[in-house]
Amino acid sequence: MIFFDFSDIAEANLDYAKYLMIGNDYLEFDTDHQLTLTHDFYEKAEADLETEKYPFRLFWINISLGIEILAKAVLIQHQIDIFSKKDDKEFEQGSKVIVRENDWLKRVLEAKEIIYISQIHTGTVGQLYKKYFKKLRQKDIISLAELKLIEAGLKTLANYRRNNDLHFYFKRNVFIKENDLTQQYIPLVNLLLDIFNRPQLV
């Protein structure tokens, strides 16, 4: 039987989210650890338009997944319970979860009687902005203005980007719009990164 220690699951998801967002070489982290456009962003975008059958599609898939995973990492880091259990017997198999050094997470998973990784459900993007980030506001970890920015960004991600990029192919390419990145998604990512590093309030 294989066991996975989930003690650092927030940090692990933070790292994975960052990896996804810079994986297509359109974005990078600057010396202040802020997400930004690469120096050759425009040249690369123009070249991909000319040579790729589906330009930018993988980029948007990675951005979409990266933001969702980052948002979940932020919530877990600040002890917001986003976990639910898949109750079907078919999920009672595979690798088991253990938590050695995270008392809060251990209590959460034990209370839900979650034993296997396959039993874990972490919710949808819609649930994140409709339900869970409000709890960060209630804990006074984020301001009302920050909550509204997060809700707007995740709502756009759920209702537009993910519908066009992840769930179905509508026979059209979803192109990069600079203001999508510079005015909404990049500020959202950098805000989430800042919130991740804020002091925990129990």
- Kindly state whether residue 201 falls inside one of the protein's structural domains: no
What does the pLDDT read at residue 51? Answer: 86
| Residue 34 near residue 190 (C-beta atoms within 8 A) | yes
Q: Which of 165, 164, 141, 155 is nearest to 185 (CA)?
A: 155
* pLDDT score, position 164: 64
Q: What is the pTM of this model?
A: 0.92
Structurally, the chain folds into a number of domains equal to 1
Q: Which residue range is the domain that position 135 belongs to?
A: 3-196
Residue 155 lies in a domain: yes
Predicted local confidence at residue 135, as pLDDT: 96
Query: Would you write out the chain's pLDDT as a tens digit for each of its 202 residues?
Result: 677 799 999 999 999 999 999 988 899 999 999 999 999 988 988 888 888 877 777 888 899 999 999 999 999 999 999 999 988 787 788 889 999 999 999 999 999 999 999 999 999 999 999 999 999 999 999 999 999 999 999 998 888 777 666 667 766 655 556 567 888 999 999 999 999 999 887 6
The residues near 160 (Cβ < 8 Å, ≥ 6 apart) are none
Note the pLDDT of residue 178.
56
Q: Is 202 within a domain?
A: no
The answer as to whether 182 is a domain residue is: yes
CA dihedral (86, 97, 17, 154) positive or negative: positive
